[in-house]
Structure 1
Amino acid sequence: MLAPAAPAIAAGLDAAAINDAAAPPAKLPGRQQINASIAKLEILLDRAHFSPGEIDGELGENAQKALTAFATANGLSFDKAVTPDLWTRLTSASEGAAIVNYTIVDADVKGPFLAKVPAKMESMKSLPALNYTSPREAIAEKFHMSEALLQALNPGRKFDKAGETIAVANVLDVAKPPAIARLEVDKTRQTLSAFDAAGKLLAFYPATVGSTEKPTPTGTLKVTAVNKNPTYRYNPKYKFKGVKSNKPFTIRPGPNNPVGVVWINLSGEGYGIHGTGNPGLVSKAASHGCVRLTNWDALRVAAGVAKGTPVTFVEGAR
Structure 2
Amino acid sequence: MRRVLCGMAALVMLAGAAAAAETALDRDTVNAARFEPGRKPATKDGSKRPDPLLIKAQVLLDRARFSPGVIDGRDGSNFDGALKAFAEARDEGKGKTATGRLDGALWDALAGTSQDPVLTDYTITEKDAAGPFAETIPDKMEEQADLKALSYTGPAEMLAERFHMSRALLEALNPGKALDKPGTVITVAALPPMSVGKPDAKSLPEEPKVQRIVVDKEALQLRAYAGDGTLVAVYPASVGSEEKPAPEGTFTVKGIAFDPDYTYDPKYGFKGVGAKHKFTIRPGPNNPVGVVWIDLSAESYGIHGTPDPEKVGKAASHGCIRLTNWDARDLARHVARGATVEIGG
* Global fold match (TM > 0.5): yes
Number of residue pairs aligned between Structure 1 and Structure 2: 306
Which amino acid in structure 2 is aligned with residue 189 of structure 1? A
Map 1:227-238 onto structure 2 (within 5 A). Answer: 227-238=257-268
Which amino acid in structure 2 is aligned with residue 20 of structure 1? A
Shift of 1:105: 1.6
After TM superposition, what 4+ stretches of structure 1 lie above 3 angstroms from structure 2?
A: 24-28, 76-81, 173-177
Q: 1:140 aligns with which of 160, 164, 172?
A: 160
Point out the more displaced range, 178-187 or 244-253.
178-187
Counterpart in the other structure of 2:121:
101
Identity of aligned residues (%): 48
**Distance of aligned partners of 1:304 and 1:26 in 2 relative to their CA distance in 1, 3 Å threshold:** farther
Counterpart in the other structure of 2:221:
191
Shift of 1:78: 4.7
Counterpart in the other structure of 2:75:
59
From the two aligned structures, give the one with the greater helix fraction: 2
CA distance in 2, matches of 1:273, 1:158: 35
**Distance of aligned partners of 1:160 and 1:39 in 2 relative to their CA distance in 1, 3 Å threshold:** same
CA distance in 1, matches of 2:246, 2:80: 23
- CA-based RMSD of the aligned residues comes to 1.8
Shift of 1:258: 0.2
Map 1:58-207 onto structure 2 (within 5 A). Answer: 58-75=74-91, 78-79=98-99, 81-172=101-192, 178-207=208-237
Look at both structures and tell me which one has the larger radius of gyration over its CA atoms.
2
Work out whether residues 28 and 80 of structure 1, in 8 Å CA contact, stay in contact via their aligned partners in 2.
no
- Helix, strand or coil for the counterpart of 1:109? helix
Matched, 1:18 2:18: no
Work out whether residues 177 and 184 of structure 2, in 8 Å CA contact, stay in contact via their aligned partners in 1.
no
Counterpart in the other structure of 2:324:
294
Unaligned 5+ runs, structure 1: 1-9
Work out whether residues 36 and 104 of structure 2, in 8 Å CA contact, stay in contact via their aligned partners in 1.
no
- Helix, strand or coil for the counterpart of 1:308? strand
Counterpart in the other structure of 2:63:
47
Which amino acid in structure 2 is aligned with residue 170 of structure 1? A
Q: 2:49 aligns with which of 17, 33, 38?
A: 33
Work out whether residues 136 and 158 of structure 1, in 8 Å CA contact, stay in contact via their aligned partners in 2.
no
Q: 1:221 aligns with which of 242, 251, 254?
A: 251
CA distance in 2, matches of 1:173, 1:232: 25
Point out the more displaced range, 165-174 or 130-139.
165-174
Which amino acid in structure 2 is aligned with residue 183 of structure 1? I
Which amino acid in structure 2 is aligned with residue 17 of structure 1? T
- Helix, strand or coil for the counterpart of 2:82? helix
**TM-score with structure 2 setting the length:** 0.85
- Helix, strand or coil for the counterpart of 1:309? strand
**Distance of aligned partners of 1:297 and 1:37 in 2 relative to their CA distance in 1, 3 Å threshold:** same
CA distance in 1, matches of 2:80, 2:89: 14
CA distance in 2, matches of 1:177, 1:55: 27
